[in-house]
Amino acid sequence: MLSQLIKPGDKIELQRVRRIRYNEDEEETAKKKIVYHSAVCEILSEDRLEITMPIEKAKLRLLEVDGEYDVYFYTENGLYQCFARVIDRYKTNNIYIVLIELTSNLRKQQRREYYRFGCALEMNDISLSEEEEEALKTGKILNGKKLNKSVIVDISGGGLRFVSEQKYELDSLVYCTYHLMIRRRIKEYNLVGKILTAREIDNRPGFYEYRLKYVNINKDEREEIIRYIFQEERKSRKKKKEEELGG
């Protein structure tokens, strides 16, 4: 089952699990709120796989041998969760590897969580009034409106994070349009999202960072964006591997 659902390159999040014993008969699982990011390297069997050692702020985060982790796999088929234990740590071809063993079955997660892909994509956007939102629902376009210029800094199947000089209010609706390379063709996406977070960037006065959740995306568009993310991730890994071999 593992090899059918999980593939090399799939992104992983790990959260440390600690057992708290109240008495000889009672034990409770608690998760420490530190999340590590990794990726699948190799699937060795149906319950063992190699993953990359997490790196945070350019430093290796050494996962403790025998430590138990709550693991989330971001795959092309959705989000899967299980518990796993660290069996070993070693270095192969200049890559620090962690060997983990699954201690529970994989479970498909129904919650809408999506892996965020870091990027730098041009986007045009504008705040919507209720009337303009209704016009978009009927297929009408915002004629004569000057759109703001922004930059997408990460994107997922659920939304995006972007930087702009335009000031938007929390919970406001924003129309955004951008282009992605899908099946070797450039496709335009015209979507509406709700602003979930907003902050002024400390070292860039007059610039704001926003996190936005799509509110009108259809299933096909979402799947295309997710495929685009996996495609770009594969390109990035291939380029990095070629650079390592060349060096």
Distance separating alpha carbons of residues 163 and 113, to the nearest angstrom: 22
Distance separating alpha carbons of residues 55 and 58, to the nearest angstrom: 6
- pLDDT tens column, 207-234: 999 999 999 898 889 888 988 888 887 7
Q: Are 156 and 116 in contact (CB under 8 A)?
A: yes
- Domain range summary for the chain, segments of one domain joined by +: 2-108, 117-232
Q: Are 63 and 86 in contact (CB under 8 A)?
A: yes
The predicted model scores a pTM of: 0.57
CATH number listed for the domain at residues 117-232: 2.40.10.220
Fold of 2-108: Pnp Oxidase; Chain A (2.30.110)
- pLDDT tens column, 56-91: 777 888 898 999 998 989 887 778 889 999 999 999
Residues in the chain with pLDDT values less than 50: 19-32
